[in-house]
Amino acid sequence: MSLVNLLGLKLKTPRVQTLGVLLFGFQVLGFSSVVGADCMPEGAAEMAVVERVYDGDTIKLTDGRHVRLLGVNTPEADYGKEKTGQALGDEARMTTEAFLKANKQIRLFYDTERVDRYQRTLAHVYDEKGNSLSAHLLRKGLGFHVAIPPNLSLNECLHGQEAIARKKGLGVWVHSDWRAISAAHLTLNDTGFKRITGRVVSVRLAQSIWLELDGPLVVKITPSDKSNFPAHNWQSWKGRQVEVRGWVTERGGREESEKMGRSSAKKSYKSLIVQPRIAGSLDLLGP
């Protein structure tokens, strides 16, 4: 099959074209990266130039923009007193630097939302050959697949790249610092991105789905995120083991204490909460 037919293009007269002319035309139009593309999104790319790599998942462009990679969360790199690093954080940063070293010019593909609350540009990053930086990091086990709605266009493809590293036991999937923490051993100081396993002790179905684990942690699936999960009999999860991955934050409120006669009091409480956002970040373990 010819290269023209492979790309589904129709050439107008004259019908005879040299291969050199065709390849030049593909490069001008940006088609050269399509062949062998790596989790490639649809749409046109924006060309940009890298100035600096901060972390495995964060870079700075020469135009001053800070870009946060979509689809992956890598461990934090160590910057001494300025910022304490995490296990494999420096490896993730150096891997991103090596990925960009050969060709500092990159391609940015955008999803639904282009800017996060920190005013960082959100984008899928590729080299000129169509290789995905997020997929590259995930396959090496140097990050976890994350997808935050509505930026879900490459959700399935990138989740598959994470599965490769998990099956091989690479990086975060084998390092002792990134083993899943038991919910029963959590303290209120255990915030940030975590892998947690625990037994579901209660299930509450309201506007949101609330899974309380056997520790100071509740898993919340919001109404807007429900569609990102398969249809489950959530009540059947009670008593079963799960693994959840995501950003853990502190949660506080007031709840009713035991009723005394006709009166009831409310007491303050503090716990932890995590919102997995997508099905790939919440696994039911075993039968």
Task: Report pLDDT for 128.
Answer: 86
Q: Residue 20 — pLDDT band, cuts 50, 70, 90?
A: very low
CA distance 259 to 264: 5
Q: Is the pLDDT of residue 2 over 60?
A: no
Task: Report pLDDT for 104.
Answer: 81
Task: Report pLDDT for 17.
Answer: 36
pLDDT tens-place string over residues 198-236: 999 999 999 999 999 999 999 999 999 999 999 889 999
Q: What is the DSSP letter of 207?
A: S
Tokens found for residue 156: 């399935």
CATH of 46-173, one of 1.10.10.10, 3.90.78.10, 3.40.50.170, 2.40.50.90: 2.40.50.90
Phi/psi-derived region of residue 169, left when phi > 0, alpha when psi is between -120 and 50, beta in every other case: left
What SS3 class is residue 134? helix
Helix (H) or strand (E) holding 202: strand 192-205
Q: Quick check: do 46-173 and 180-285 share a fold?
A: yes
Strand partners for 250: 272
Across 114-132, b (16+ Cβ under 10 Å) vs e yields: eeeeeebbbbbbbbbebbb
Tokens found for residue 186: 């959590």
CATH class given for the domain over 180-285: mainly beta
Q: Residue 286 — pLDDT band, cuts 50, 70, 90?
A: confident
Where exactly are the structural domains of the chain?
A: 46-173, 180-285
User: What proportion of the chain, given as a percentage, has pLDDT over 70?
Assistant: 80
Q: State the distance between the two ends of the chain, measured CA to CA, in whole angstroms.
A: 48
Task: Report pLDDT for 13.
Answer: 35
Task: Report pLDDT for 37.
Answer: 65
Q: Which residue has the tokens 């790596």?
A: 38
Tokens found for residue 144: 């976890």
Q: Residue 255 — pLDDT band, cuts 50, 70, 90?
A: low
Q: Is the pLDDT of residue 29 over 90?
A: no
CA angle 109–115–120, rounded 5-degree value: 95
Strand partners for 211: 203, 219
Tokens found for residue 177: 């610092």
Q: What pairing do the DSSP bridges indicate for beta strands 58-61 and 46-55?
A: antiparallel
User: What proportion of the chain, given as a percentage, has pLDDT over 90?
Assistant: 72
- Comparing 92 with 231, the larger pLDDT belongs to 92
The residues, ordered by sequence, that sit 6+ positions from 186 with a Cβ below 8 Å of its Cβ are 196, 215, 216, 217, 272
pTM of the predicted protein model: 0.81
